[in-house]
Structure 1
Amino acid sequence: MKFMELIEQLFADYGYWVMLIGLPLDAIALPIPPGNTTLTYTGFLSFKGVLSWLPAIGAAYAGAVLGMTATYALGYKLGAPLVERYGKWLFIKPESLEKTRQSYRKYGNKLLLISYFVPGIRQFIGYFVGIIRIPYRTFALYAYPGALMWVMAFFAIGYVFGEQWEEVFLLVEKYLKYLFIVLGIAVAVFALVKWGTRLNPSKQVDNGTE
């Protein structure tokens, strides 16, 4: 069965429960049904009057928050102890976790905010921030607004474009992919330049000497 046939059947059988159950499954790396497609189709069903838009958005947001929070909790409760106990077998040292935590505190919150828009990152980031023990308040401050932006953006595609939602959805996914490829390359280049600067620090010139 194709993905769209599966999603249509799920909505026919379970209605709003598809978001409450399906989006958490997407967050824990079981994307059946896939999150972006599910949200857009939810918007389309609301456009057609099959679903009411407000309960649909509420169910979708609750499902997205539930899924991300579950992955964060699993990472927080199980991830760090496993690394501390078995990290040497996985070539992961506790000191490495601490360095990662410090780096994340400087640069990572923005990634958490937009992570819902990036398949693969969306299914991973919750575990990651839990493992490095990012405080729940910080996690919620960025993850929950990010969830709302994601839900509203893809729901709007289906709701606004109606019968043309599939064509618009494919275009959005295509250009989002290109955008994040470019951003990924830019971040990699920035990291390499910074790393190279640390390896070859510029010679400091004393103010009092020529």
Structure 2
Amino acid sequence: MIEKIIAALAGWIIAVISTLGYGGVVLLMAIESACIPLPSEIIMPFSGYLVFKGELTLWGVALAGAIGCVVGSIPAYYLGMYGGRPLVEKYGKWVLISHHDLKLADRAFEKYGEIIIFIGRLLPAVRTFIAFPAGIARMNMLRFIAYTFVGSLIWCWVLAYVGMKFGENWTSLKVYFHEFHIVLTVAAVVFVVWYVRRHLRLMKHHH
């Protein structure tokens, strides 16, 4: 069943990007960032395939993806800010947000602070929901947008690049993405550890 849904989604995603080009990438990534789990693992590699075909440019699709992420994250941020937890707990299930996802995003935000917005954008699953706790915590909007944009730009560029390199075989990436997630997650964890240690060292110096 889930395979069917993904196949249908993939078909729709491909149609949207083929028709609207960069605008389609912005739109889809906005939906993905507004806590509706559209797979960016299909959106961006397909965009990369179109780069391979010469229809779009790599930086163009990466930028479009990142802009989409910012656009989609802003409503989620405000939902967190004004509706907060009760709203999410009540309606979250309609957009497939589980309490578990929320707790994960929350805990990450509390533990690592604002840099998690950047790192969260590089983590599958977390990236879709990370805007909520930022809104609940009333994080500085400009920093929120900057972190979201930079983190998303890296994510979108990498996925589009991989799609471009694979060219005609971009659909066979699905298998790799599973492993790719593991690599990304490990990289993000390493970054977090480094960041936290650096942070602690700086704090020691100040005291």
Q: TM-score scaled by structure 2?
A: 0.66
Partner residue, 1:22: 28
**Do residues 13 (structure 1) and 38 (structure 2) align?**
no
Partner residue, 1:142: 147
CA contact (8 A) 1:16 1:59 kept: yes
The alignment-based identity, stated in percent, is 27
Partner residue, 1:117: 122
Cα shift at 1:114: 2.1
Change over 3 Å in CA distance of 1:131–1:152 after alignment to 2: same
Partner residue, 1:50: 55
| Consecutive unaligned residues in structure 2, runs of 5 or more | 1-6, 89-104, 193-207
CA contact (8 A) 1:43 1:53 kept: yes
Cα shift at 1:169: 4.9
Question: Over alpha carbons, which structure has the higher Rg?
Answer: 1
Q: TM-score scaled by structure 1?
A: 0.65
Aligned runs of 1:1-210 on 2, under 5 Å? 2-32=8-38, 34-79=39-84, 104=109, 107-177=112-182, 180=185
Cα shift at 1:21: 1.3
Cα shift at 1:108: 3.1
Root mean square deviation of aligned Cα? 3.4
Change over 3 Å in CA distance of 1:103–1:149 after alignment to 2: closer
- What is the rounded CA distance, in whole Å, between the counterparts of 1:173 and 1:152 in structure 2? 18
Cα shift at 1:72: 1.4
Cα shift at 1:144: 2.1
Cα shift at 1:103: 8.4
CA contact (8 A) 1:76 1:132 kept: yes
Bigger CA drift: 108-117 or 66-75? 108-117
Deviations 1:167-193 (A, max 9, x none): 345313334147648988xx9xxxxxx
Cα shift at 1:70: 2.5
| Consecutive unaligned residues in structure 1, runs of 5 or more | 84-99, 188-210
- What is the rounded CA distance, in whole Å, between the counterparts of 2:48 and 2:106 in structure 1? 37
Bigger CA drift: 34-43 or 4-13? 4-13
Deviations 1:34-66 (A, max 9, x none): 222101110111111122444333322211111
Change over 3 Å in CA distance of 1:183–1:154 after alignment to 2: closer
Change over 3 Å in CA distance of 1:103–1:180 after alignment to 2: closer
CA contact (8 A) 2:65 2:152 kept: no
Cα shift at 1:16: 2.2
Deviations 1:143-187 (A, max 9, x none): 221111111111111122322333345313334147648988xx9
Partner residue, 1:89: none
Q: Secondary structure at the match of 2:125?
A: coil
